[in-house]
């Protein structure tokens, strides 16, 4: 059974002093290393008991101090640079990678994504690619953690914070670029033999489920249209997953189920179109999504031509005898008259601009 593409680029709350979180601890966790936090004196050791790290690297802009390539030194320096009580240290991202990719292609994708979106802008990116946890529900959860610095960096060290990196458009661009790079990776290698639809599915994977469904219908990908025709689910998280596995009921999931049930009761009944694609045959879907839009487009084109003909008769009927009757105007004649009309209107606009300029010059005198 076809399932929705597991796209994910989630941005967690920035790691900072106000939230009482250590960026050194976060760096040690994602890299599965042992690092000492000089600010608190604690030693964070995550070398055992966690999922395997397939790849880790610190990506930097071209001109930076040598110590930025040392994970412990880098993030201790980040903390020591900040003095405010509510200071923010770093931005934390997590991305999912297609499980179909080989290890080499995953690393290649990460390197391209980090270079084009982060280091090229002046950020330092600490990246770690994790293998799916042995106890996880799925063995396909290949994902990468990315820690990003918030200050500009040069040969002398850290400078000012760059506020533009906090704009919401940055996140939108990152999501779109990740989907595009995954799609291109599928096209440029042998993965199409598995499923020829994969490039197009990943290309639109950053969109909402409704938008993905519409895109799938446009390309006649009926299986994916049905798979994406449902309400989005909420990510549970690893803690709730392990609680449910041990038979412990989570109050978070209980409250969430109650809210969903309450919302369903309050929601007004929708027409049968709500199940718009599940019960339809492929012929029905093709009619609604391919054939019918063509008819509508043709109808709108004819309507636009009638409006143009009406305007041309109003402007040129005293000059062109062929326009005096109500018969459709020949395409060649219509094209010529439209060009004449556009040229005439352009000359009028230019004359009006010249008059306005003359008036302005007179006022200045």
Task: Give which of 70, 72, 8, 61 is closest to 35, Cα–Cα.
Answer: 72
Question: What SS3 class is residue 167?
Answer: coil
Residue 271: helix, strand or coil by DSSP?
coil
Model confidence pLDDT, tens digit, residues 11-59? 888 899 887 889 999 999 999 999 999 999 999 999 888 888 999 999 9
Q: Global pTM?
A: 0.67
Pairing of strands 88-96, 9-11: antiparallel
Q: What angle do CA 172, 174, 176 make, to 5 degrees?
A: 70
State the maximum Cα–Cα separation within the chain, in Å, rounded to a whole number: 94
Report whether 167 contacts 137 (CB < 8 A): no
Where b means 16+ CB within 10 Å and e means fewer, 198-235 reads: bbbbbbbbbbeeeebbebbbeeebbebbbbbbeeeeee
Quote the pLDDT of residue 77. 94
Q: Is 288 helix (H, G, I), strand (E, B) or coil?
A: helix
Query: What average pLDDT does this structure show over 218-234?
Result: 79
In order of 343, 345, 346, 362, 365, the CA distances from 357 in angstroms are 21, 18, 17, 9, 13
3-state secondary structure of 122: coil
CB-CB neighbours of 286 under 10 Å: 15
Tokens of 354: 């010249």
Please check whether residue 17 is in contact with residue 85, taking contact to mean a CB–CB distance below 8 angstroms: yes
What does the block give as tokens for 286?
């093709």
Q: pLDDT value at position 272?
A: 46
Which residues are bridge partners to 144 per DSSP? 95, 129
* 195-208 mean pLDDT: 89
DSSP alpha helices (H): ranges in the chain? 23-31, 71-81, 103-117, 168-188, 198-203, 209-218, 222-227, 238-245, 251-266, 282-286, 292-316, 331-364
Cα separation, 219 vs 197, whole angstroms = 9
pLDDT in tens, 93-150: 999 999 999 999 999 999 999 999 999 999 999 999 999 876 555 678 899 999 999 9
Mean pLDDT of 290-307: 67
What interhelical angle do 238-245 and 251-266 show, nearest 10?
100
The pLDDT assigned to 119 comes to 95
C-alpha to C-alpha distance for 47 and 238, rounded to whole angstroms: 19
Contact 216, 228 (CB under 8 A): yes
């Amino acid at each position: 059974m076809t399932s929705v593409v597991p796209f994910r680029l989630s941005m967690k709350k920035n790691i900072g002093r106000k939230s009482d979180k250590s960026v050194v601890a976060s760096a040690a966790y994602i890299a599965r290393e042992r690092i000492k936090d000089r600010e608190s004196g604690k030693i964070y050791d995550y070398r055992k008991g966690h999922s395997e790290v397939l790849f880790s690297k610190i990506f930097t802009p071209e001109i930076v101090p040598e110590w930025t390539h040392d994970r412990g030194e880098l993030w201790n320096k980040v903390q020591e640079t900040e003095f405010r009580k509510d200071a923010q240290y770093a931005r934390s991202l997590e991305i999912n990678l297609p499980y179909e990719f080989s290890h080499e292609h995953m690393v290649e994708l990460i390197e391209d994504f980090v270079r084009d979106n982060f280091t090229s802008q002046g950020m330092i990116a600490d990246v770690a690619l994790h293998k799916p946890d042995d106890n996880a529900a799925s063995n396909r959860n290949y994902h990468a953690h990315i820690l990003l610095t918030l200050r500009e960096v040069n040969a002398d060290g850290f400078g000012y914070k760059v506020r533009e990196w906090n704009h919401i458009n940055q996140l939108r661009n990152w999501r779109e670029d990740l989907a595009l790079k995954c799609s291109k990776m599928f096209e440029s290698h042998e993965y199409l033999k598995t499923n020829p639809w994969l490039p197009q599915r990943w290309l639109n994977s950053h969109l909402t489920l409704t938008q993905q469904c519409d895109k799938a219908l446009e390309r006649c990908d009926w299986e994916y249209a049905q798979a994406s025709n449902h309400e989005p689910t909420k990510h549970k998280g690893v803690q709730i997953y392990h609680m449910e596995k041990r038979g412990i009921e989570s109050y978070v999931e209980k409250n969430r189920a109650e809210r969903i049930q309450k919302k369903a009761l309050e929601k007004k009944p929708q027409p049968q179109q709500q199940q718009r694609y599940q019960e339809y045959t492929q012929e029905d879907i093709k009619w609604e999504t391919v054939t019918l839009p063509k008819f509508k487009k043709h109808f709108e084109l004819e309507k636009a031509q009638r409006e143009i003909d009406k305007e041309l008769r109003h402007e040129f009927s005293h000059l062109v005898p062929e326009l005096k009757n109500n018969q459709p105007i020949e395409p060649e004649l219509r094209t010529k008259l439209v060009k004449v009309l556009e040229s005439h209107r352009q000359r009028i606009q230019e004359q009006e601009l010249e008059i306005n300029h003359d008036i302005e010059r007179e006022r200045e005198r």
